[in-house]
Structure 1
Amino acid sequence: MSNSWFIIANPTSGNRNFSKQWKEIQQYLKLKNIDYSFTVTQFSKHEIELVQAAIQQGFRNIISVGGDGTLHNVVNGIMMQIYVKTSDITIGVIPLGTGNDWIKMYNIPNSIEKAIEIIYRKKTILQDIGVLKTNDNKTTYFNNVAGLGYDGYVVKKLHSLKRFGAISYLIAGIYGLLFYKKTIFKIIFDDKKIEEKCLMTIIGICKFSGGGMQFTKDINPSDGFFDITIIKNLRFLEVIYNLPKLYTGKIVHHKKVATYKTKEITVIPQNSKPFIQADGELIGSGKITVNIIEKALQFVIS
């Protein structure tokens, strides 16, 4: 099975007709003579079980068909399995989701035909993976961006808005600006201890999140470091005025934004339990400790 792919498809990703998309996927896979087996998810986080079973059966090449959430669960399944080294596994992505932020890092088009062409060429990168632990000892792995505060609040709101497609991120973002209450964070990493009122703390491996926003600076997804962004007490009108900078990445130069690089970080909210997100998935609330696993997984990139 060394050259065969195991496809895990989430039929609820995106807003389009999955059966039509799946026929298109099969057509292009056949055109490229790509050998594969496949299955579809039947419930939330089913990808974790499916990918572990596939690895146990001997598959080492996995294709995630869906959005950032599908990829997040595939990554977690690989990182949690005990059969092989995680770096022996290769992941390709056929994007069908709403946000598809991870693919933007590697210029993978939001196109079935072009995504399969990239998988066929199988150019890979060994990428770092983050491991996040919450106060109740829950462990979550992430391949893109995690955060605590405003962005976690937005992710929670987003679940009721996804039917609006890509614009749902903007709607949820504005809602969060109006109703999210900032809290004091104690942030500990390396020899630093920062304690102040923050809008959010971002922990990045890759560049894009929230439907194309860029909160991180000088990203290298294989350098063994997180790119940390601490957005301090930005007021509502300041965020609105700087909204374009969220999409160009220039927000990192704002006087109320600080950036750092580190391998490990702890964030302790002082007077509330703000929501935590990883790869756009809501995973809890409260304190987090995050570590990096260097060059943990192979991804197919353009």
Structure 2
Amino acid sequence: MSVEPKKWGVIYNPKAGTRKVKKRWKEIKEYMDSKGVDYDYVQSEGFGSVERLAKILANNGYRTIVVVGGDGALNDAINGIMLSDAEDKNDIALGFIPNGIGNDFARYWGLSTEYKPAVDCIINHRLKKIDVGYCNFYDGKEHQRRYFLNAVNIGLGARIVKITDQTKRFWGVKFLSYVAALFSLIFERKLYRMHLRINDEHIRGRIMTVCVGSAWGWGQTPSAVPYNGWLDVSVIYRPEFLQIISGLWMLIQGRILNHKVVKSYRTKKVKVLRAQNASVDLDGRLLPKHFPLEVGILPEKTTLIIPN
């Protein structure tokens, strides 16, 4: 299939828990049309379809792939591109228009949920090579590799994602499910027996959550940079109740690394040898929990369209 080099392949992932799906896309489409954008459009249908569609677009010659969605949709898209058969997949320009509850990666680059600045950014087409994180694991049948742009969470962070996904049908709105899960689990303060290896140091103990970030990781790795070839790691041990309150405030302010129950590292690779009963997520996508896991970084492995 021959595609014009400047034509966008747009994947629209409807915002979870909203009834304004058609209205939102109509507004974005009308704005792109007013700007004279040349594009083909597909809408995702159910879990896993964004990854499949991104892979199809990459294999069929699209050099600019635009995702309208949140962190999870971006994760699906980078996996689709990385697992495609495109010879120049590292040079495929990935653009994004924030459209989800979780837009942490978009906020890192200074993009709000307003679609017009995001469309203008993609039109401007300023490119930057960024790192792609990976996670190797065994699914019980064969060895697998999944990719991420923002962060891997093990323990509390991933359990919040899991409960949010399970309860959003009850609440009807994913944001309410997320808030309910966050508060219930923080008060619970469950710990997990973990064994990690970071920079040849073995870390064993009862740990509440671990975040391995190439970017902000929802504030847990605030010093991480997605183009320096390194991973930042935050290991959070059990806080007292008052320390939870101060920790949430420091998280909002971007100072979580200063908290006394947080230990931070910078590394190229993390091995999770054990994390008993802990959930794992990559950019909000839950991973089958088969330990050990190996988390690493591939420097400048994909091309991102970024704001000026």
Q: Same fold (TM over 0.5)?
A: yes
Matched, 1:20 2:56: no
In the alignment, which residue of structure 2 is the partner of 1:274? 278
Instruction: Say which SS state the counterpart of residue 53 (structure 1) adopts.
Output: helix
In the alignment, which residue of structure 2 is the partner of 1:90? 93
Letter in 2 for 1:275: S
In the alignment, which residue of structure 2 is the partner of 1:100? 103
CA shift for structure 1 position 30: 1.2
CA shift for structure 1 position 167: 4.9
Q: Which moved more, 1:255-264 or 1:9-18?
A: 9-18
Matches within 5 A, 1:197-236: 197-209=206-218, 214-236=219-241
Query: Which structure 1 residue ranges, 5 or more long, are not aligned?
Result: none
In the alignment, which residue of structure 1 is the partner of 2:154? 148
CA shift for structure 1 position 223: 0.5
- Distance, in Å, in 2 between the alignment partners of 1:144 and 1:16 is 28
CA shift for structure 1 position 235: 3.2
CA shift for structure 1 position 187: 1.0
Matched, 1:254 2:259: yes
Check conservation: 2:280, 2:286, Cα contact below 8 A.
Answer: yes
Instruction: Say which SS state the counterpart of residue 36 (structure 2) adopts.
Output: coil
Query: Which structure 2 residue ranges, 5 or more long, are not aligned?
Result: none
- Distance, in Å, in 2 between the alignment partners of 1:235 and 1:16 is 40
Instruction: Say which SS state the counterpart of residue 240 (structure 1) adopts.
Output: helix
Check conservation: 1:10, 1:40, Cα contact below 8 A.
Answer: yes
Cα 1:286/1:199, change in 2 over 3 Å: farther
Check conservation: 1:10, 1:41, Cα contact below 8 A.
Answer: yes
1:52 to 52, 55, 59: 55
Matched-pair identity in %: 27
2:84 to 74, 81, 84: 81
Cα 1:57/1:286, change in 2 over 3 Å: closer
Cα 1:82/1:180, change in 2 over 3 Å: farther
Instruction: Say which SS state the counterpart of residue 107 (structure 2) adopts.
Output: helix
- Distance, in Å, in 1 between the alignment partners of 2:33 and 2:235 is 47
- Distance, in Å, in 1 between the alignment partners of 2:209 and 2:226 is 21
Number of residue-to-residue matches in the alignment: 297
What's the RMSD between the two structures over aligned residues? 1.7
Letter in 1 for 2:216: K
In the alignment, which residue of structure 1 is the partner of 2:269? 264
Letter in 1 for 2:212: I
CA shift for structure 1 position 219: 1.9
- Distance, in Å, in 2 between the alignment partners of 1:223 and 1:48 is 26
Letter in 2 for 1:144: N
CA shift for structure 1 position 101: 1.1
Q: Which moved more, 1:97-106 or 1:239-248?
A: 239-248
Deviations 1:118-142 (A, max 9, x none): 1111112211111112342332111
1:71 to 69, 74, 80: 74
Check conservation: 2:164, 2:174, Cα contact below 8 A.
Answer: no
CA shift for structure 1 position 178: 3.2
Letter in 2 for 1:182: L
Check conservation: 1:217, 1:259, Cα contact below 8 A.
Answer: no
Deviations 1:28-71 (A, max 9, x none): 11122111001111221111221121122210100001111111
Check conservation: 1:146, 1:276, Cα contact below 8 A.
Answer: yes
CA shift for structure 1 position 250: 1.0
- Distance, in Å, in 1 between the alignment partners of 2:229 and 2:133 is 10
Letter in 1 for 2:162: K
Letter in 1 for 2:254: G
In the superposition, the TM-score normalised over structure 2's length comes to: 0.91
Matched, 1:138 2:147: no
- Distance, in Å, in 2 between the alignment partners of 1:28 and 1:207 is 30
Q: Which moved more, 1:140-149 or 1:48-57?
A: 48-57
CA shift for structure 1 position 189: 2.2
- Distance, in Å, in 2 between the alignment partners of 1:112 and 1:105 is 16
- Distance, in Å, in 2 between the alignment partners of 1:164 and 1:240 is 25
In the superposition, the TM-score normalised over structure 1's length comes to: 0.92
- Distance, in Å, in 2 between the alignment partners of 1:13 and 1:138 is 28
CA shift for structure 1 position 2: 1.1
CA shift for structure 1 position 262: 0.8
Matches within 5 A, 1:27-46: 27-46=30-49
Instruction: Say which SS state the counterpart of residue 234 (structure 1) adopts.
Output: coil
In the alignment, which residue of structure 1 is the partner of 2:248? 243
In the alignment, which residue of structure 2 is the partner of 1:3? 6
Matched, 1:111 2:114: yes
